[in-house]
Structure 1
């Protein structure tokens, strides 16, 4: 490998061998596929890490992330290579489905003493999970008094912490309907913070979808949108199978606008709307 970082002139591009090793780590760690043509993207994101660590070149950086002492930096590397783009109520048809089809029978079940679990898998900065919480509270204002919880997870600890703060600037909440903004946010030092009722519904945790999961479900709905576009077909298929294993009968799966889930007989899922899938309910259930 050749030296590829210079303190005087900034970072140059990783060479082919360095790119191959970066891609290997990203795939082994998180199932992320980095094509050889993504050199500029890798360079723009990892050069900042080299500068922060005061490392002279990519070779030194790769030695670090492959070492026992570099496990924290390995996580930061994966975080740097992932894209965290989201906004409140993104792909609004999913929230229409949540409001009109998914939640009404769940609310009835909860009011009869049952439970409900929702999962935002790949929650980014938290807007998706909070949009789910607002949708729940619109339909069921007393949800915090019942057994309904929303799990929000992401591989990137920085965005998990941002989501957990439940606090966003004016630009980030600008797209929220004014009535919802007035109802579910309150002023917090020039920022906008989700009200306590919403915060009581959502818990944020760092989670690598490619690794073992500590929770078993069952979940009633999973949002995993614009995440698997970074995975190859084999990794995607494995993830769809794992989602099916932790979804309750009749459970829902929402994916991103450019993503598709294999349906029966290739999987247990059936199509239930635009980029919306469902497991068959138990006989006699809706």
Structure 2
């Protein structure tokens, strides 16, 4: 948890410095004032959505580069043939274009899906998953990831993050200006005290935004589990999650795609607020409690 928060603080510091430089340049060149909330909101939206949408656009490229995965263009053996054909069958049943299929070298049981759209996506599995899971369990994991793609989770997450980023940037500066004005009498802000206040507010509001984003991330995992049960069968999905629970370890996925992996989370209290995945026991129970018709196999 502390590593995640430290990374978050460092990221917000970089955003604050960059935004401060840009606003200062615009103020000097075009006469843009920090007191103009309409202009500030526009620039907050440009920065807020720009970063998340750019990350979405390059997500497949980043995943391939950071994991060093092998993308299956032509299956080289029986295992790759099964993996490729299973994803193709599930994609057809889910009504999406065939994703790229990749295998990356990692010891843990994991898989993820990413990509800029439902019809331009990537589904990847770890070598650890292929070694540890039987085919019924692996089929359920693939169905879970295909469901993420079919649900449009990558795009939705990017849009939610863009909205949250926009309001963090905007509100931190509006509230910072109010606080700075109350303390110093400077209505326009822009002084050293103003930027110090904004930095603190970036962190505080950013933490609240992160809690909201992680809540959505946990909710979409339940939905992807239900989709996986629909595509592969409820008992297979439950068995896959039970296998994950029995071998849970720290994910080695890069941070850019970690929230899209299937591995569960552990912990409670404040740590739970920042978890991208619900505890595996809760996910298994949700599948057991689901109506029988929600777990029927398509196609």
TM-score (norm 2): 0.32
Higher relative contact order, chain-length normalized (CA < 8 Å, sep 6+): 2
TM-score (norm 1): 0.33
More helix by share: 2
